[in-house]
Structures are given as C-alpha cells and as structure tokens.
Structure 1
C-alpha cells in the first residue's frame, strides 16, 4: 500500500495558479514549484506527471474559479470600465489567463482549448470583452490608471 499524500492537491494547484500567473509557464522552473509549493519533486511528478501537467491543472482550476468570478463581475457591472476597475482593485487576479493567452495558447492545443473556454465564459458576460482584456493587460503591465487608484 502506498504512503498517503502529504499535501492537499487543491491547495497546491491553487498556489500554482498564483505562481504561473506571476511568472508564466516558461518563467517558472520545477525548482520554483518545489520551493514555492512545498511539495517534493517526486510527489509533484507522481501527482501531476510533469510541470505541464500541473500547469494544465492550474489553468483548469483558474478558469473554473477565477474566470467564473470575473464573468460574474463583468455581468454585474454597468460598463467595461467599471468591470475592469472592480477586477483590478478587488480581483480575481486573471494573470494566469492573460499569460496563457499570449504564451502557451498559440503553441499548446490543450491550453488553447482552456483559454477558448475562458474567453467564451467571459464573452457571455460582457460583449465588450476585447476592450476589457486590453484594459486588464495594460493595467497588469503599468499599474492601475490614476482614476482606479483609491476607488
């Protein structure tokens, strides 16, 4: 009989969402994952198969949780600017989705499928999604616009 898992898989995947969302897939090494997540290398490989396996699990969880919350924020907002302001100030952080769209979706069909699912979920909530994503990308790169600060 195998030894029981010494970590909560959901918590590890959630922490991976944050790490990949800050550093990207390419910018995150297995050593980064091991040290940040507190999981032994062997356990990481046994549970997720590879760095990519963990990345896909993190992206799926991100779409199911964070993107769903963002879609609710978009749907409840009066306009795109208000939606982006709410997301920027209070979250959820969509960093993993934004990075996945530009880094991995063009070269990985499974990532492309997940980002397509995420965009469909967001587009159902807000028709002006392209403008909203552009504003979120700009905010991520430069910080909140002055009118967002302190609101």
Structure 2
C-alpha cells in the first residue's frame, strides 16, 4: 500500500491553472511547477503522469470551473473582459499548444465555439483581440 497523498490535489490544480495562465506551457519547466506548486517531482508524475498531464487537467478544470461560469452571465465582450486575466489560459492555449497538440486543440475549439454561442464569431474575435492587447500592455 502506498503512502497517502501529501498535498491537496484540487489546490495544486487551481495553482497550476494560475501558473499556466501567467507563463503558458512552454514558459514553465517541471522544476518551476514543482517549486511553484510545492509538490515533489515524484508526486507530480504519480498523480498527473507528466507535465502535459497536469496541463490538460488544469486546462479542463479552467474550462469547466472558470470559463463556463463567466460565459453563463455574459452578454458582450466587455462583460467578459471585466474578468481581467480570466481568459488568459484559453488565449495562451490557443496560441501556443492548440496548433501542436490535437487534444488541446479540441478543447480550445470547443471553448471558442462556446464563446461564439454567447458573442457570435465577431464578438469572440473582438474579445480575444482586446484581451491580447491588454495582456501586452500589462507586460510593458
């Protein structure tokens, strides 16, 4: 029988969402994740299988627990922009991983289709463009 898990898996996933939203997948090493999440490397691999496994878990959690509630109450791009960095993980996943990883691409495509339902395709384009500009300004 193995030792009981020494960390709160949900808290680790929530922090991983925040870390991936700030620095993207390629911007984080496994060492960054281990340090930032406060888990041992072996625990990370045992629980999530890999950095990609953690990323996919974080992305799915974000889409379900963060993005969907935002969309439920929104009627326009400005209302969604009021969420600030609440769109950053989707934006970074779309730009960085979706073109390279079919599973991430399918999750991002589903999220974009859901935003299209709320805002229409032009509204989605406006929303992501405005958030990208805001993120660039933050980094200057």
Structure 1 length-normalised TM? 0.84
- Deviation of residue 56 (structure 1)? 0.5
**1:5-84 residue pairs with structure 2 within 5 A?**
5-75=5-75, 79-84=76-81
Residue 82 of structure 1 and its aligned partner are, at CA, apart by 4.1
Structure-2-length-normalised TM-score: 0.90
Gaps in structure 1 of 5+ consecutive residues: 144-151
Superposition RMSD in Å: 1.4
Distance 1:73 1:118 in 2: 15
Does residue 3 of structure 1 match 2:3? Answer: yes
Match of 2:20, SS state, is: helix
Q: Is the 8 A contact 2:71 2:80 kept in 1?
A: no
Determine which of 126, 129, 138 is the counterpart of 1:134: 129
Contact 2:74–2:118 (Cα < 8 Å) also in 1: yes
| In 1: Cα distance, 2:80 partner to 2:108 partner | 20
Q: Across the two proteins, how many residue pairs are aligned to each other?
A: 136
Contact 1:105 1:112 in 2 (8 A): yes
Residue 104 of structure 2 corresponds to 111
Q: Is 1:120 the counterpart of 2:113 in the alignment? A: yes
- Stretch of structure 1 that moved more, 121-130 or 8-17: 121-130
Q: Matched residues in 2 for 1:69 and 1:102: separation?
A: 23
CA distance in 2, matches of 1:100, 1:36: 20
Helix, strand or coil for the counterpart of 1:6? coil
Of 76, 82, 87, which aligns to 2:83? Answer: 87
